[in-house]
C-alpha cells in the first residue's frame, strides 16, 4: 500500500467531536493485517455518532446515548481505538473512536475502496460481484478487512499494537477533500436519522458509496 498523501493517525488528530473529525477521515486508509494477510481500504463514506454528554446536543441515534455499558465501553476512549460491534447478529461494523477520553464518540466506517489485498477481500466476500462492492456498506467493510466482533473490539489503530491476532493502522489524508457531501445517516430510526442530524459524510460521486435508505420513522413522510 502506498502512503503518499497520508500521515499516521494520532490521538490528537482524533480528539475533536466525531461530527468534526468524520469528514477528515475521507480519503484516509484503514490497513488491517489478520489471518496472515493485509487488506487496506480507502474511506469514502462515514457517519458520526456522539455519546451521552458529548457535544452540545444529545444524539438519539448513538449506541452510547444512554451512558456507558459493556457493549459500548470502547466508545469512551481513548481516541484511535476501533469500536467493533455486531449488526443484526451477523455483520461486524467498524468505528473509529473520536473525542476526548472519557467522552463517548465514534465514526462509523460506512464504505470504501479496497486499495490493497483485493484478492483476500474477495475470498472473505465471495458474493461481491465487483471490486466496488467489496466494502460498499459497513458490514461488508468489516468483513473485507477481517475485523470481527467481539474479538477485535478495542484494537488500537494509532499504535498498531497486536490485538487478538490482528494489527490495525489508520492513515489520514494530508489534505481534506473538497467534494464532501453531507446528509442524514443511513437507516437510523426516529429523529436521529433525519435532516436534524446531517452527520453522514461521503465523497460525492464515488462509486463505492453505499445506497441511502431512511430509518423507521425518519423519512420525509414519517
pLDDT in tens, the chain (222 residues): 788 999 999 999 999 999 999 999 999 999 999 999 999 999 999 999 999 999 999 999 999 999 999 999 999 999 999 999 999 888 999 999 999 888 999 999 999 999 999 999 999 999 999 999 999 999 999 999 999 999 999 999 999 999 999 999 999 999 999 999 999 999 999 999 999 999 999 999 999 999 999 999 998 765
The pLDDT value given to residue 194? 97
Number of Cβ within 10 Å of residue 168's Cβ equals 28
Dihedral of the alpha carbons of 177, 178, 180, 182, in degrees to the nearest 10:
130
Asked whether 49 and 66 are in contact (CB, 8 A), the reply is no
The pLDDT, as a whole number, for residue 33 is 98
Q: How far apart are CA 142 and CA 94, in angstroms?
A: 6
Predicted local confidence at residue 29, as pLDDT: 98
Contacts of 154 (CB under 8 A, 6+ apart): 74, 81, 82, 83, 84, 163
Per-residue pLDDT at 222: 57
- The single residue listed with the C-alpha cell 458509496 is 209
| pLDDT of 212 | 97
Q: Is 182 within 8 Å of 197 (Cβ atoms)?
A: no
Q: What is the pLDDT of residue 221?
A: 63
Q: Within 13 Å, how many C-alpha atoms sit on residue 18's CB side?
A: 38
Amino acid at each position: 500500500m502506498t502512503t503518499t498523501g497520508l500521515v499516521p493517525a494520532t490521538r490528537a488528530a482524533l480528539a475533536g467531536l466525531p461530527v468534526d473529525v468524520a469528514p477528515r477521515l475521507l480519503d484516509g486508509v484503514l490497513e488491517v493485517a489478520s489471518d496472515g494477510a493485509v487488506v487496506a481500504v480507502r474511506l469514502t463514506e462515514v457517519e458520526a455518532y456522539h455519546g451521552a454528554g458529548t457535544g452540545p446536543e444529545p444524539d438519539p441515534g448513538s449506541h452510547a446515548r444512554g451512558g456507558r455499558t459493556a457493549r459500548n465501553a470502547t466508545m469512551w476512549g481513548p481516541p484511535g481505538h476501533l469500536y467493533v460491534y455486531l449488526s443484526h447478529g451477523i455483520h461486524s461494523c467498524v468505528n473509529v473512536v473520536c473525542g476526548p477520553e472519557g467522552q463517548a464518540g465514534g465514526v462509523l466506517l460506512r464504505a470504501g475502496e479496497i486499495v490493497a489485498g483485493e484478492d483476500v477481500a474477495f475470498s472473505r466476500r465471495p458474493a461481491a460481484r465487483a471490486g466496488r462492492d467489496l466494502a460498499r456498506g459497513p458490514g461488508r467493510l468489516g468483513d473485507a478487512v477481517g475485523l470481527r466482533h467481539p474479538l477485535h473490539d478495542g484494537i488500537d489503530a494509532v499504535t498498531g499494537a497486536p490485538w487478538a491476532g490482528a494489527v490495525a493502522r489508520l492513515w489520514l489524508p494530508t489534505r481534506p477533500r473538497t467534494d464532501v457531501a453531507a446528509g442524514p445517516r443511513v437507516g437510523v430510526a426516529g429523529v436521529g436519522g433525519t435532516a436534524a442530524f446531517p452527520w453522514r459524510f461521503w465523497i460525492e460521486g464515488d462509486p463505492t458509496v453505499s445506497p441511502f435508505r431512511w430509518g423507521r420513522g425518519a423519512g420525509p413522510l414519517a
